[in-house]
């Protein structure tokens, strides 16, 4: 997650999972290269890496579309959460006056690191800002930026 705009009247946060997209694209290229090399030498085993490359290409295609944009706007008095993925666009708006702050939702695993995502408190409910959980410091920094912006 990154803070795209941080002005007194507007805060824009974007979440575009670029590292995952690049990893999938690199894996697709590697599988395609291996499949072509094996096919060049006349083996039917080339179908396995080529099928993997095709599956990864579909994953890359759908993952490149996936992103979230969250806009806090004092001028309009609204918070807009926009999710775009292969299923289409989902837009949610909330009155800025009802947003009391941001928090970090955390899931702990018994065999792995904790994963987190940022949510906002709207009235008595918590609304998630992204569909994805992250393992880095991004959600905590985002929650702090939102709380700082709301306190201005």
Reported as a single tens digit per residue, the pLDDT across 120-129 is 999 889 988 8
Q: What is the pTM of this model?
A: 0.70
Residue 100 confidence (pLDDT): 92
Can you list the positions of beta strands (E) in 1-152? 2-7, 10-15, 67-73, 78-85, 88-95, 99-107, 115-122, 125-128
Nearest Cα residue to 70 out of 129, 150, 149, 1 = 129
pLDDT band at 147 (very low <50, low <70, confident <90, very high): very high
Q: pLDDT grade, residue 18 (50/70/90)?
A: low
Q: How far apart are CA 78 and CA 140, in angstroms?
A: 22
């Amino acid at each position: 997650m990154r803070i795209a705009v941080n002005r007194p009247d507007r805060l824009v946060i974007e979440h575009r999972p670029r590292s995952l997209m690049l990893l999938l694209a690199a894996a697709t290229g590697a599988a395609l290269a291996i499949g072509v090399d094996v096919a060049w030498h006349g083996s039917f085993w080339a179908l396995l890496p080529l099928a993997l490359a095709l599956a990864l290409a579909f994953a890359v295609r759908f993952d490149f579309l996936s992103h979230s944009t969250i806009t806090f706007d004092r001028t309009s008095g609204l918070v807009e959460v926009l999710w775009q993925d292969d299923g289409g666009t989902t837009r949610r708006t909330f009155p800025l006056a009802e947003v009391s702050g941001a928090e970090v939702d955390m899931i702990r695993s018994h065999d792995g690191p904790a994963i987190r995502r940022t949510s906002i408190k709207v009235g008595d409910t918590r609304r998630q800002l992204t569909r994805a959980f992250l393992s880095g410091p991004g959600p905590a920094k985002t929650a702090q930026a939102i709380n700082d912006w709301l306190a201005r």
